[in-house]
Chains A and B, each alone.
Chain A
Amino acid sequence: KAGVTQTPRYLIKTRGQQVTLSCSPISGHRSVSWYQQTPGQGLQFLFEYFSETQRNKGNFPGRFSGRQFSNSRSEMNVSTLELGDSALYLCASSLRLGNYGYTFGSGTRLTVV
């Protein structure tokens, strides 16, 4: 079956712009989480959605937001981009909330110039 699909794979944006990243979870998975990966900070939790509701949020500014649709697909949005937002953004899906293990997508590489 298809894995977690993230689009686009690569993005180049200018400081001050906004960006929307998309994640389609594995069919039947209802939980979607987002992580930011940078060389300096490593992997950091952004937020988790389940049944179209944000269940948990990491320590990121309000410029980072997300949503989940009724088909479990999720989007995350970053407004007023800063150079420091350059990172690999990873989406992970799980069957439901709980420690069942997450399946990650290949990520979206965002470069802010």
Chain B
Amino acid sequence: AQSVTQLGSHVSVSEGALVLLRCNYSSSVPPYLFWYVQYPNQGLQLLLKYTSAATLVKGINGFEAEFKKSETSFHLTKPSAHMSDAAEYFCAVSDLSGGSNYKLTFGKGTLLTVNP
């Protein structure tokens, strides 16, 4: 069975500071990994995805994430935070450990606050 742990339900950074959101996964087979962002009263927007190609994945809005198999991690980073980055971020994993089930298993989410 697959699972996702996001360390820190709330992360607060200053504008211009590094953003680091942590995600660890558990999967018995090679996973596909995703980061989504959710703004208030909206759905989820895909930031980036890892599908077994390059381990460093670049996404939209300046975000990137690195897949580290040895650490079972897929942390999300951005060099310089903007006020517009304030939102909730979800890490998700999908694999075929359940057969043909491509469902996404999500972490609990990390609320990012950006202070001026």
Contacts and interface: CB of A to CB of B under 8 A. Distances in A.
Interface of A: 4, 6, 33, 35, 42-43, 45, 48, 55-56, 58, 90, 92, 97-99, 101-107
A76 to B, nearest CB: 15
Nearest to B95: A99
B28 to A, nearest CB: 16
Interface stretch (B17-25, B37-45, B63-71, B74-82): B37-45
A43 B36 CA distance: 12
The 9 closest A-B pairs by CB, nearest first: A99-B32, A104-B43, A43-B106, A104-B44, A45-B103, A106-B43, A56-B101, A42-B108, A101-B49
B89 interface: no
Instruction: Say whether chain A's binding surface is mostly helix, strand, loop, or mixed.
Output: strand
B105 to A, nearest CB: 7
A42 B92 CA distance: 12
A97 B42 CA distance: 24
A4 B45 CA distance: 11
Contact of B46 (A43, A45, A101): A101
